[in-house]
Structure formats: C-alpha cells, structure tokens
Structure 1
Amino acid sequence: MIAVITADLIDSSSYPPEFLELVLETLQKEFDNFAENFSEEKSNFKIYRGDSFQGIITNPENALLFSLFLKTALNKLESKDSSAIKADLRIAIGIGGYDLKRDEISESNGEAFQLSGRTLDDMKSNGRKLMLKTPNIDLNREFYTSLALFDFIADRWSTASAEVIYYLLQGYKEKEIAKIVGISQSAINQRKKIAAWDPISALLKRYEEKISATFKEN
C-alpha cells in the first residue's frame, strides 16, 4: 500500500508572477526536505501545469503530516503587493495499491492514484480543501468528518498562525519558535492556542494510529 497526494493551488491565476514563483519554490523545498527527513525519493513528487502536483509516499502513515507541512508552508506566505493574496491548496490523499510505479509519476497507475485523482476532482465542486480516500469505508467516513473540521479551523488561520503550526509540526518547542520568529514565547503560545494546535496534534496521532492498524498487513 502507498499514499498518493494529488493537489492544486487555489485561485493560482490571481497570483502575481513573483508570488507564484515563491509558492512553487516553497513547494519544491518541502518536497526535498520531506524526502531527506523521511527517506523518500525526491523524484516521488512532480509539479505540473504550473499549479498542480502529485507524489507518492511509500509510508501512508506520513501522508497527513506531509500534507500539513505543505499546507502550512504555503498558508504562511502572503504576496507583498497591495492585493495581499494568501496561498492555499486543495489536497487529496489516496491510499491503496498500485499496478505500475515508474520513475515518471505521470506514467504510474493503480488504486491509490485513482482514489487521489478522483477525490481532488470532487473537491473542486464541494469546496473541501483536504480529504482522504481509501478502500476502507469506515476509515473514509471517520476522516471525512474530522478533516472537514480541520478545514473549518485552517480557513481561519492568519499567516502568523500558519507559521507557528508549520514549526510545531517539525517538532520545534515554543521557545525555539519564538527565537526564529522574533517574538516572545507567550505570543507564540497564544498563536498556538488560536490556531488550535492541540486538536490538530490529536488528529495527526489518530490518523497515524488508524492507518497503521488498518493497513499493517498490507
């Protein structure tokens, strides 16, 4: 079993060229960091059409964590012109088998690819920003609801809130984040609470446990 992430930038046509370049550079940096830190192949993720990407995660338990890395890395960005546009993603995680895995991801195919791609297509009409689809109906039902709640929370993040979540996902402590961001630890703690870090952390733990238990024999 593998996880396939298929995603696209929301309203990318409105991004100023310099901001779009920054967004794409940020995505590529996150792809490289994930490959290095989680022993994945750098070639597993490819950007195409300038505003979409797809990639394979060989350990499905890491798929939600990486999705949140990507989301927060972009949500903390804001264009510097008068439009003050914020970057955001639609992300579909598909977990399943694969029939063909080639060096070029566009030439790969199988259940995980189909689940991810079809789910992203559905999301373009239902307004969702993060969804999971697997062969397990009960698992799909649980995370349909919990990820809808996550969307509700994340849609209310400021760029400052997203930045704090971005560093918390990497295991940084409040004191360390305060030093990076250049504000007090108490301010970081306040942003952490406003961004709802505790339920997000619980969601990640629940996802890892359920994916491990459901697919451990696959």
Structure 2
Amino acid sequence: MISIIIPAYNEEQQLPGLLRHLEATSSGYVTEILIVDGGSTDGTAEIVQKSSNAKYVSSAKGRAVQMNTGARNAKADILYFLHADSLPPQNFDSLIVNELRKGKKAGCFQMKFDKNHWWLNLMGQFTKVNHITCRGGDQSLFVEKCLFNEIGGFNESYKVYEDNEIIRRLYKKKQFTVIKSWITTSARLYETMGVWNTQWLFIEIYWKRRRGASPEELYSHYYKRLSS
C-alpha cells in the first residue's frame, strides 16, 4: 500500500483539483494522502480538513523538512512524494506497485508540462531517459519506506535542490526506475520568470552543485534570482 506525501505552502488554488484527480486516477493501493503544511497563510488547512480523502499534517516550513515529517507520519510501506502542482497518470498507484514487484525500490514518472512550448516539450522528452541528469522533483518520487529510512531521508540542510540530492543517493543504490507513463506538472514558474530565465536558473543551480556549492549557497542564489 502507498502513502502519498504532498508538501504544501499556500496551495489553496492547486489542492482541490489535485485531490479530485488522485481520487479519480488511483486504483485501490493508496492508504492515505498526507498534506504536510509548512505554515500556509491562505485556505490550505481548511481545504484539507474539509476533505474526505486527505489528512492534514502540520510541519516547520521547508520542503525537505515537510517531506520527512510526512514520511514519519506515513502508515504504508511505500512512500510517494508528490508536488501540489503535479498530476500523476491514470492508475499511478498500480504502476508503482508493479515496479516494486519487479524489485525496483524507487523511481518516478516521465514528465510533461501543462504549457505547450517547444523547449518545455523537449525537456519532457528527456525525462524518458533513466539518468540522474534528467531527474527532478516535478517527476514525483516513489520509494520503499525501508530504503528511504536506510539512506536517511531528505537532507534538511537543502532548502532547494532537495529532490535531486536524494535521487542522487537513490541512484547509487541502483534501484531507480522511470515508469513509462506521463505525470503532468505546472509550468507556473516558467510563466512567472519566463522560459529562458527559468531554465538558465536551473542550469546555474545544477552546475553550482556539481562544483561543490553548499546548500546555503544554492538557496541564496536561487532566491536572489527569483527576486531580481
């Protein structure tokens, strides 16, 4: 069975549609949906508390912290980390269970954006490739809970790039797979910053990490660019 863990901060616009989508597309393997809230100031908490298929979990702010909090509260043996603005494919839970049965203890889906732009479409095609350089948090992440605990969960010193950091450790375990079905994620950051500015920011973060930048340096650079 699967525990879905969704870190949230001011996601009142995204959550109603996501919860309806999860209910409509799951095939019976989902034990619980945990919305781990990092102190939202909008209606996020109220939406979850009124929902019949989600549980509200309060947490300190920070996606890595929130996802670890969700994992500690999860009841199932399979953890599925999902961003609030990403919609997994039909029967996503049975697709995940099938990979576990094949011996793959971690993985993600192929990803496409909800915006039709040639560059974003091309980036989506690269997510078919099972290589660390093609990974990102918007593709979601499933991992067997025992393996998650074995590697120490998310590194909470990372306020950005936390998904890529844990995925890199999972690749070292040689357990990672890419499910050949599409998850659809929002291009809202690309729409806010512009496609090329956003892509350049991600390239900068990637190379700074490759050259040994600390989590604090990555965070500082990321938010400096966001606010510029």
Please state which band the TM-score falls in when normalised by the shorter chain. Answer: 0.3 to 0.5
Q: Structure 1 or 2: larger strand share?
A: 2
Q: Structure 1 or 2: larger helix share?
A: 1
TM (norm. structure 1) is 0.36
